[in-house]
Amino acid sequence: MHRNNGEGLVWFLVGAAVGAGVALLYAPQSGDTTRRLLGRKLADGRDALSEQGSDLFDRSRELFEKGRKVADDAAELFERGRSMVRS
């Protein structure tokens, strides 16, 4: 099964976050250090997801515009064919 790169990245980030959370819970650090580290990791994950969402939105817009152009070209060809049949 072929997966979308965006979907694969999201699942990778989720797995990394869960793995990091479990590792931090068992790490021999102070609670304050652990909380700061978790905060940084969560911020990094949030930024990565935001960037991926933005990229996905841009790609979707490009595909929509290409689809619109194909539909417009098809409509133009249809009209030209119709006018040829009427002639």
What pLDDT was estimated at residue 8?
75
Tokens for 23, please give them.
């590792």
Burial class (CB in 10 A: 0-12, 13-18, 19+), 61: exposed
Say if pTM beats, i.e. exceeds, 0.75: no
3-class secondary-structure state, position 4: coil
List Cβ neighbours of 27 (8 Å cut-off, separation of 6 or more).
34
Q: Which residues of the chain have pLDDT under 70?
A: 1-6
Residue type, 44: D
What pLDDT was estimated at residue 4?
62
